[in-house]
Amino acid sequence: MTFRLRTIDVTADGRQIVRDRDLAASRLTIGRAAENDVHLPDLAIDPHHAAIERNGDLLEVTALGTLGFGVDGVANQKTVIDPARGAELRFGSYNLTISRDADGIPLITIAQVASQDPGEAADDKARFSLAAAMPGKRRMAWIFGALILLAFLAIPVFFNLVHQANPKVAVRGDKAWSAGALSLAHHSLEQNCTACHVKPFQPVQDATCMSCHKTVHDHASPARLALARGGNGPLGERLLWAVAHSFGKEGPGACADCHTEHEGATRMAAPAQQFCADCHEDLKTRLADTRLGNAADFGLLHPQFTPAVVTDPVAGKSVPMSLDGHPKENNGLTFPHKLHLDPLGGAARMAASIGRERDYGRAGLQCSNCHRPTEDGIRFKPIDMERDCEGCHSLAYDNVGGTVRRLRHGDVDQMIADLAVSGYNPPVAAPRERPGQFGVGGNYHIDFAPPRYTSSTFQQALSKDGVCGECHTPTMQGGRPGVVPVRQTARFMSDGWFNHKAHAQEKCTSCHSAEKSSTSTDVLLPNLASCRTCHMGGDDRRAKVPSGCAMCHGYHPTQGAPRGTKQDKT
């Protein structure tokens, strides 16, 4: 069974919009509730007011509540209608005209009837509309505009002027101008707006930032940064910057471009990987003279590591070299790691024999016996001869009355002086007599032989197999004997960050092939492929450790950890 519902709506200009829809049902519900088949939004109608049911060719209309309905102008609770003859039902302000359509389907035409009494409608508007109780829109606009200017402009400006004349007077109403809370780094400036906003209605200037952050350096010179970004940029971007510059905005590349404020009491987020890739992905095409390789994603596009390798220990010269070329280091020290780490070698047996004294294990020397981490665990302390080496490489040279005398490491002049007096025999001298006395049987001659040196000379110590030459390279410095200075590199890659503490779960040999190195010229650093076994790009969710640029690199040159390694604890 099917009903055809025809809805007639009237637009503001009097046009009628007619919509038909067929409803396959034997029963229709009528009411104010939206779930009814015939929805009539009128407060004079019950939510579930009436129902229409088919009974053969007839329609039975029944009221579901106490409110009835009109049938051809007569109030009823129930009626039977023949669609062929037709009828008109009235529910509140709606007329439902029942008839039969050309194809024989019962047709219910729904139309809202306008009020027949214009005066009644005007009275309702006067009683119930907001416009009848309030001033006109224009007057309200002027009133509220004046109140806004008074509360949010006049009062703050007045108290600011008074505060400048008398700092003891608090500034009131200034929070209305705040765009939000400051970050944790600048939280102490909440009540000191002029610390950053020096001039009214002017953006924060770089000079203002640098007045506090004096040690922050630029990523590069402004000219090179402009070239790295791609020159002046497209026309639309240049026009936008021209407008910004007219209002005192610095940039592009100003401090405030990245360090935005008034975004809540949080820490500054690490730069996104794309922020770096925008310039570095094809940097060489814009900066042909750059020594940096293109980089956009650690797992997909990143140059090989280029550590600073010592090439001249005397001058202390270091040169960045790619690990692809298998660079060799000349740090002034002779130290084969393989010899010391071989568990079956002589060094291991010696370490086992003195293990209790030096806290060495029975298996021989371990990396941690010499390489001791700094207090923060990030790097390692420089190797110290007395602490890390002298357990096996003794500097003792004499024993006087049970007291062992040791050479002072690192001071060649002192070594020469110490060895020169070791085993010294002074000339024989007669006992001193009182003047004027003649001792019978006295010794009237002395031994004028030259002093004798019975200990090893410094030439032997500085020889290839001597106590110094075993690890150091002898040389002459300013006409005096000495050794080539040892240059211990504290940080091979100054533009990258590595935290050993964060990798404590790994063995040293996972990254450093020290047990296979027979010469100290080997650069025992992991290459790019080694790091990629765990670290991939910041957007690679399959990696063990998704690593964006900010995990290892900082935008501002600094010796501290980059932003990506600092966890936000707020």
Query: Each residue of 442-472: pLDDT tens digit?
Result: 444 444 445 444 445 678 888 888 888 889 9
41-85 pLDDT tens trace = 999 999 999 999 998 889 999 999 988 999 998 999 999 999 999
User: What is the per-residue pLDDT across 469-513, written as a single tens digit (0 to 9) for each?
Assistant: 889 998 888 888 889 999 999 899 988 999 999 999 999 999 999
C-alpha distances in Å from residue 341, one per residue of 354, 364, 410: 16, 7, 25
| pTM score, whole prediction | 0.63
Could you report the per-residue pLDDT of 161-196, keeping only the tens digit for each?
Answer: 787 777 776 677 777 788 889 999 999 988 788 889
Please check whether the domain covering 2-116 is classified as CATH 2.60.200.20.
yes
Q: Write the pLDDT tens digit of every residue in 269-298.
A: 888 899 999 899 999 988 989 999 999 999
Residues with Cβ within 8 Å of 430's Cβ and at least 6 positions away in sequence, in order, are 442, 443, 444, 445, 446
Count of other CB atoms within 10 angstroms of residue 316:
11
pLDDT tier, 436 (very low <50, low <70, confident <90, very high otherwise): low
The residue type found at 135 is P
pLDDT digits (tens, 9 = 90+) for 208-240: 999 999 888 888 888 888 888 876 678 888 899
- Contacts of 309 by beta carbon, 8 Å cutoff, 6+ apart: 318, 319, 320, 321, 327, 328, 329, 492, 523
What percent of the chain is modeled with pLDDT above 90?
44
> Closest Cα partner for 490 from 373, 379, 333?
379
Q: What is the 3-state secondary structure (H, E, C) of 480-509?
A: EEEECCCCCCCCCCCCCCCCCHHHCCCCHH
Summarised one tens digit per residue, pLDDT across range 76-125 is 999 999 999 999 999 999 999 999 998 889 999 999 886 555 555 566 66
| pLDDT over 60 (residue 432) | no
Domain residues of the chain, as ranges?
2-116
Q: So what's the pLDDT on residue 232?
A: 66
Give residue 163's pLDDT. Answer: 72
Residue 252, preceding peptide bond in cis (omega within 30° of 0): yes
